[in-house]
Amino acid sequence: MLKKFLPNQHVKSIFDITPKSLKEKGVKAIITDLDNTLVEWDRAYATPNLIEWFEDMKKNGILVTIVSNNNEERVKAFSDPLGIPFIFQARKPMVRAFQKALNQMGVQKEEAVVIGDQLLTDVLGGNRGGFHTILVVPVAKTDGFITKFNRQIERIILNWFRKKGMIQWED
């Protein structure tokens, strides 16, 4: 059961994920979380580096859809200036929003990755849907109320994975 929380891959930052590395795996699309994955949960807009990352993905034919549990106002305000499709109130770890993103992008799940900063929503949802999952270190050290609770549970799960030798990275 706990293996459903184990990501396929772990990176320090979204910027460690390149079009080249994705294409080598046959990936054509990214389903990504927003808050604390792309930018801090309380940052309204994309940073210049993130805008460049999105442009690099687009230039290389990698589709991106933001799938967030946050409300429409938050996700739309971030996504619209970038022209990035999004799904709000996704109810992750439920799989429906991931499937909807696939359908919108016109790709198969084997051609997509799920990227996020939380085991209990992004990784669990992506794994339940049969996706390749990539866990990123949260952009901010602070979280909203519900996420703080999730982080405590995540620490327990990550410690268990470490003790079993299933992960080697540091927090």
Model confidence band, residue 2 (pLDDT cutoffs 50, 70, 90): confident
Helices (H), the chain: 19-24, 48-59, 72-79, 96-105, 124-128, 145-163
Compute the distance between CA of residue 125 and CA of residue 70 in angstroms, rounded to an integer. 15
Contact 131, 22 (CB under 8 A): no
Q: Which residues, in sequence order, are CB contacts of 39 under 8 Å at separation 6+?
A: 45, 46, 47, 50, 78, 139
Q: What are phi and psi of 56, to 5 degrees?
A: -65, -40
Where do we find the tokens 């808050």?
35
Q: Which two tokens stand for residue 63?
A: 């589709």
Domain 2-163 grouped into CATH 3.30.1440.10: no
**pLDDT tens per residue across span 33-54:** 999 999 998 888 999 999 999 9
Express as a percent the part of the chain with pLDDT over 70: 95
For residue 75, CA distances in Å to 43, 66, 109 come to 11, 8, 23
**What is the domain partition of the chain in residue ranges?**
2-163
Q: Which 3 state secondary structure label does DSSP give 170?
A: coil
Compute the distance between CA of residue 21 and CA of residue 103 in angstroms, rounded to an integer. 23
Global pTM reads 0.90
**pLDDT tens per residue across span 137-153:** 999 776 666 677 787 88
Compute the distance between CA of residue 57 and CA of residue 45 in angstroms, rounded to an integer. 18
pLDDT of residue 145: 66
